[in-house]
Structure 1
Amino acid sequence: MHDRSANVSWTKYIAFGLRIASELNLPELILAAPEAVEDVVIRQADLTAWSGQLEQANFVMLDERFMFQIPGTAIYAVREGKEIEVSIFSGADPDTVRLFVLGTCMGVLLMQRRILPIHGSAVVIGGRAYAFVGESGTGKSTLAAAFRQAGYQMVSDDVIAVKATASSAIVYPAYPQQKLGLDSLLQLEALRENKHARKRNNIRSLTDGNSVMPQYSDLRMLAGELNKYAVPAVDEFFNDPLPLGGVFELVADSPIRALMREGELMAVTEQPLNVLECLHTLLQHTYRRVIIPRMGLSEWSFDTAARMARKVEGWRLLRDSSVFTASEVVQRVLDIIRKEEKSYGSH
């Protein structure tokens, strides 16, 4: 049990396989039983004594804390995989404060606990978690939303927490929220009549004259994100650990480059990744990878990604960036996984 002040109001949550006691309100997370013994404490603290040092060099180890400062928002400290301290600046936007608690702080805390955070989205297919990674704008969140619309459950939409052991790679679910842009919301709504999509009722209007997913009474615009909204996904969220089945790297390709398969122009095409290519993809898309050397975890992160690359299959999916291809990518992913399952079954 962590040392906590009795005169402070604490709420228990669960995320990334961890039980969290937080002084900060974290509405994005799933509530845990009040009697649950916490693994992690999130508290407010006065960290202003380190402000000068952090202005000189951000993202550093100071004493036993990994610390960073977001001007106008807060100073953050993450310690031993067990504690996140937040020193909130006067007038800071609470949504922005939480954005860094659930993002960078949680990524650092996971690494301190030797859980590798991968930057991407993950969904459940056939009892396994499949990760979708790629550069910003390649459609990771939109693809996860398209899978949800097709009846599949989501595991994560930003940080995929993977614990790699000698025998397995296990994914711990994050929390039931997606970050989706208005364009994606409108395009996904247009797919609602697609044969792979599950229909919904009570669709609401987000902007005047535009009827978009989902049916929730309110969508909150995300702080620090251009025209992106927080979309709850409670009904389609899978909240138990499960094995990592594979990794798909999304690449938005120029339509000038013809995507050909068997002589036909394709909206989506795939390339299998060998172990070294899969390792490179995992390293390239490790969450907040630039701070790993400052934490002294370069060797650990490489070894962990190497173990994962040897255990799972990897593919690169190239899609025509000039058209909306979420439905085609969903079908291609399902086809690839079914083909792999048949291949395994034949041995």
Structure 2
Amino acid sequence: MHDRSISVGWEQYTAFGLRIGSELKLPELVQSAPGAIEDVVIRQADLTASSDQLKQTNFVMQGERFMFQIPGTAIYAVREGRYIEVCIHPGADMDTVRLFVLGTCMGVLLMQRRILPIHGSAVVIRDKAYAFVGESGTGKSTLAAAFRQAGYQMVSDDVIAVKATASEPIVYPAYPQQKLGLDSLLQLEALQGHKRVRSQKHRFVLTHGNPAMPQYGDLRKIAGELNKYAVPTGDEFYNEPLPLGGVFELVTEASNRKFLCEGELTAVMEQPLNVLECLHTLLLHTYRRGTIPRMGLGEWYFGTAVRMARRVEGWRLLRSSSDFTASEMVQRILDILHKEENSYGSH
């Protein structure tokens, strides 16, 4: 049966530069006008025949079909860079079901379409996307949120979709939502009075030491995440593709004081990355990179990362993990890019 007939009446969305027709409601995504042919179809299917096989391993490859199971939630299958099939377990929490559709499933689908998913956050600075990558807890999403507070638009949070075109790497926007921890939300609220930070339309208000919900309604706690919440970004989301200008790797160096400026208030230091270091950073922070060898995409993956490393700038930002330095990091990044721009202009 043709996809158009089975998708009549389904929800239509856009994300990662793709038109999506979905049998499942995906409120996190941007809705699109009906009628266009879908790039991606998300539908329910009976995948229980693979249950026993999936109990033995994290995922299986059946030909070109990637399958995995989240116990108590669903069995998922991704194939041809076009189809995501979901077999929902009875009583499953739908927030959790969607979490893996928009996370692991979409990451695999992007790779099947030869689009590299980078694990991190990205914002728009001077008409280019800049990616923030790093290990868990280094403050990628918090930094992107601080940029939003400073008046910059967000492109992606968690999965950054990058296509290595003939001329330059292109970033395709994800969807208007961030994942932020409670500590980050409270710290960002404290930064509202900073002279470089514009006032937000929606503010957190502290009442007797507890965070009150912002005006746009209760924040939804993200399933499976400790004290992390889904924060809508609304009109602060940039929904057009744009070039990847650079990559900033965030590293905490609490114990190594040589990275800190003695006698200064600053707790952030930067190191430019050469091509090999930039390549290593891209490889290290690829989303769901452990699945790539089993999918037979190793050669494409490495070649794509090499082309990207040669065409974008990279920096490592070292900060003290004991200090909240998001606002300082925003200014440091802007200073770095200003110096780069002046350097290019002088040649």
- TM-score of the aligned structures, taking structure 2 as reference length: 0.95
* Segments ≥4 residues shifted beyond 3 Å: 4-9, 204-215, 260-266
What do residues 29-65 of structure 1 show as CA deviations (whole Å, max 9, x unaligned)? Answer: 0001011221000000000001111112232211331
| Structure 1: gaps (5+ residues) | none
The alpha-carbon deviation at position 281 of structure 1 amounts to: 0.2
What do residues 115-174 of structure 1 show as CA deviations (whole Å, max 9, x unaligned)? Answer: 000000000000000000000000000000000000000000110000002321000000
Aligned to 1:117: 117
The alpha-carbon deviation at position 221 of structure 1 amounts to: 0.5
The alpha-carbon deviation at position 3 of structure 1 amounts to: 2.0
Q: Secondary structure at the match of 1:192?
A: helix
Structure 2 CA distance for aligned equivalents of residues 52 and 263 of structure 1: 61
Residues 189 and 203 in structure 2, CA contact (< 8 A), matched pair in contact too: no
Structure 2 CA distance for aligned equivalents of residues 322 and 315 of structure 1: 21
Alignment of 1:34-113 (within 5 A): 34-113=34-113
The alpha-carbon deviation at position 8 of structure 1 amounts to: 6.7
Q: Secondary structure at the match of 1:296?
A: coil
Residues 150 and 196 in structure 1, CA contact (< 8 A), matched pair in contact too: yes
Structure 2 CA distance for aligned equivalents of residues 231 and 16 of structure 1: 19
Aligned to 2:269: 269
Percent sequence identity is 78
Q: Secondary structure at the match of 2:192?
A: coil
Residues 189 and 204 in structure 2, CA contact (< 8 A), matched pair in contact too: no
The alpha-carbon deviation at position 261 of structure 1 amounts to: 4.6
Alignment of 1:206-285 (within 5 A): 209-211=209-211, 214-255=214-255, 257-261=257-261, 264=264, 266-285=266-285
Structure 2 CA distance for aligned equivalents of residues 170 and 71 of structure 1: 36
Aligned CA distance change for structure 1 residues 223 and 260 (closer, same or farther; 3 Å): closer
Residues 7 and 23 in structure 2, CA contact (< 8 A), matched pair in contact too: no
Moved more, 32-41 or 144-153: 32-41
The alpha-carbon deviation at position 216 of structure 1 amounts to: 1.9
Residues 267 and 325 in structure 1, CA contact (< 8 A), matched pair in contact too: yes
What do residues 185-227 of structure 1 show as CA deviations (whole Å, max 9, x unaligned)? Answer: 0000000010111112553548764356854222100001000
Aligned to 2:165: 165
Structure 2 CA distance for aligned equivalents of residues 336 and 173 of structure 1: 24
Alignment of 1:147-226 (within 5 A): 147-201=147-201, 203-205=203-205, 209-211=209-211, 214-226=214-226
Structure 2 CA distance for aligned equivalents of residues 111 and 294 of structure 1: 12
Residues 219 and 230 in structure 2, CA contact (< 8 A), matched pair in contact too: yes
What do residues 275-304 of structure 1 show as CA deviations (whole Å, max 9, x unaligned)? Answer: 000000000000000011110011111110
Q: Secondary structure at the match of 1:294?
A: coil
Structure 2 CA distance for aligned equivalents of residues 243 and 4 of structure 1: 32
Aligned CA distance change for structure 1 residues 244 and 2 (closer, same or farther; 3 Å): farther
Structure 2 CA distance for aligned equivalents of residues 169 and 260 of structure 1: 33
Q: Secondary structure at the match of 1:174?
A: coil
Alignment of 1:20-31 (within 5 A): 20-31=20-31
Structure 1 CA distance for aligned equivalents of residues 80 and 207 of structure 2: 45
Which residue identity is paired with 2:199? K
Correspondence 1:313 to 2:313: yes
Q: Secondary structure at the match of 1:248?
A: strand
Q: Secondary structure at the match of 2:309?
A: helix
Structure 1 CA distance for aligned equivalents of residues 206 and 68 of structure 2: 36
Structure 1 CA distance for aligned equivalents of residues 123 and 216 of structure 2: 21
Structure 2 CA distance for aligned equivalents of residues 128 and 33 of structure 1: 27
Which residue identity is paired with 1:315? W
Structure 2 CA distance for aligned equivalents of residues 41 and 129 of structure 1: 27
Which residue identity is paired with 1:156? S
Residues 120 and 157 in structure 1, CA contact (< 8 A), matched pair in contact too: yes
Aligned CA distance change for structure 1 residues 265 and 208 (closer, same or farther; 3 Å): closer
The alpha-carbon deviation at position 18 of structure 1 amounts to: 0.1
Which residue identity is paired with 1:30? V
